[in-house]
Structures are given as structure tokens and as C-alpha cells.
Amino acid sequence: MKENSNISNITIIGNTTWGQAIATLINKEKAGVQILCRTELEAKNRINKIDKLKSLPSSIQLSSDISTIDNSELIILAFPSQSMRSNLNIIYNNLNQNHKFLIASKGIEKTSGKRLSEVLKN
């Protein structure tokens, strides 16, 4: 991210190693970043594991609360490509026209043959 970027609140959907790596890089740029987990238990387990491994800066928040994305300016999708549609269905009601997306996953949806950007548009 450029230093003059106006984006200051970012949510990463995907509590994966890849999602955590992206969060760490963004955090270095001083943007507010949180990782959205599927469940509260997953968030707690990940926090406990991170605390033991010291693998994620404490300024990065982990949450299972879907409303985390309400005030996000940028939503980064960092999960396996085959779960794109199901993850988008989960967050759909919390999206608004101001959200910007960055797809950090690769591949196509096997069932439809669509690129991930096409799945996002639907």
C-alpha cells in the first residue's frame, strides 16, 4: 500500500496462513486490519495458537463477528477458491456499495468454470 493511501480499515476474510501473511504486511503500513474467522471457536483457537507462536502482531484483531466488515473500506478475500461462493453468501447482507474488494485467492470455481471475479460479481 502506498503511504498516501486513504484506506485505513481493512478486513481480511480467510483465517488462513495466507490471510495472516497479508494482514501482517498491511499492518506494517499502519492500516487498521482485522481477520474475520468463521466461528467464535475458530477465532479463540487461532488467538491461543498465535499467542503461543508469537506469529501475528497484537494490533491485528481476529473476530467471528460478521459486522466487522460494516466499516471496512477494503475487504480482502483470502480463502480457497472453492469456498468463494459460500463465503460471499455469508457476508452478503453486510456489504454496501462503498466496499472495495481484493481477491487474494487463485483459481476458478470448479462447478461453474467461472473466474473468482465473476463469482464475486454475481
pLDDT tens over the chain, length 122 residues:
455 467 889 999 988 889 989 999 999 887 789 999 888 888 888 777 765 556 788 888 889 999 989 989 999 999 989 999 998 998 998 998 889 999 999 999 999 999 999 999 88
Assigned domain for 47 exists: yes
Assigned domain for 70 exists: yes
Assigned domain for 56 exists: yes
Assigned domain for 113 exists: yes
Assigned domain for 83 exists: yes
Structurally, the chain folds into a number of domains equal to 1
Closest residue by Cα to residue 85 from 40, 38, 117: 117
Note the pTM of the prediction, 2 decimals: 0.84
Assigned domain for 4 exists: no
Here the CATH number for the domain that contains residue 14 is: 3.40.50.720
Closest residue by Cα to residue 101 from 67, 72, 76: 76
Domain that holds residue 103: 9-121
